[in-house]
Amino acid sequence: MSFLILVRHGQSIWNLEKRFTGWVDVDLTEKGKLEAEKAGFLIKEKNINIDFYYSSFQLRANRTLEIIKDVLNDKKIFKRAWQLNERHYGSLTGLNKNEMVDKLGANKIHEFRRSWNVKPEALNKESPYHPVNIATYKEIPKSVIPDSESLKDTYERVLKYFKNEIEEKLRNKNVLISAHGNSLRALCKNLFNLNNNQISDLEIPTGNPLIIELNQELVITNCEYLDKERAKSLLVF
């Protein structure tokens, strides 16, 4: 039996400001740091030895994982993977979500945020918000850096990395992944065999560990959010 623990980073500065963040590299708020700390204590109560830690390239996910590891008093090095990054929101990046609802309408923004294969217009490469202009991604080949992504695009890169680097470890090891709302939604689509309608309704709460128990055949035998008061119940796994 093994465990996969998924944690969406704590509240970020742009979460608080209700801005489309995507690949822009912003830090946690004080509330986000407290969410990460609480996540660490909830995981600690389970008394699970984590064998491998993974995170995206992004500061908010890295910081969340560092706080969790501090609570666990675990000095293991975690692996950063750009494939676990948040979805790239293209030309919406940096814009206020509420203002864009007023401008484009709630249905259009919902389509951009939740549809399976619709993506916003490409972000201009001259924008300071484009990943090619952000130092965090200087080690990533420019050929793989997107200008915009749908959830389907995000799913394909996340799943490829998960299959190649993580899945086999779960036959007998415990893994914790600190990532983002859409990269974790993409992973959950695969893990729980969700259809395109179900994935559009799935919410991933910040800083609330989702612990998934698997047998040696990688069949899920149990799962639960550890912070019951904040657990989302829009989708029953």
Rg of the chain's alpha carbons, rounded to an integer?
A: 17
Summarised one tens digit per residue, pLDDT across range 79-107 is 999 999 999 999 999 999 988 888 878 88
Contact status, residue 13 vs residue 28, Cβ threshold 8 Å? yes
pLDDT tens, 52-86?
999 999 999 999 999 999 999 999 999 999 999 99
The single residue of 37, 66, 86, 203 carrying the catalytic annotation is 86
- CATH class belonging to 2-88+151-230: alpha beta
- pTM for the complete prediction? 0.94
**Integer Cα distance of 22 and 163 in angstroms:** 23
Mean pLDDT for 36-50 is 97
Query: Residue 237: pLDDT above 80?
Result: no
Q: CA-to-CA distance for 148 and 153, rounded, in angstroms?
A: 9
Active site residue 180: no
Give SS3 for 4: strand
Per-residue tokens: 176: 């914790």
- Report domain extents, the chain: 2-88+151-230
Identify whether the C-beta of residue 226 lies closer than 8 Å to the C-beta of residue 24: no
**pLDDT band at residue 202 under the 50/70/90 scheme:** confident
**Of these residues, 9, 88, 130, 180, which one is catalytic?**
9
How large is the average pLDDT for residues 202-209?
A: 92
Q: What is the pLDDT of residues 6-18, one digit of tens each?
A: 999 999 999 999 9
165 is catalytic: no
pLDDT for residue 199: 85
CA-CA distance, 58 to 64, in Å (whole number)?
Answer: 10
Judged by DSSP in three states, 55 sits in strand
Q: Where are the beta strands (DSSP E) in 69-228?
A: 79-80, 175-179, 210-214, 220-225
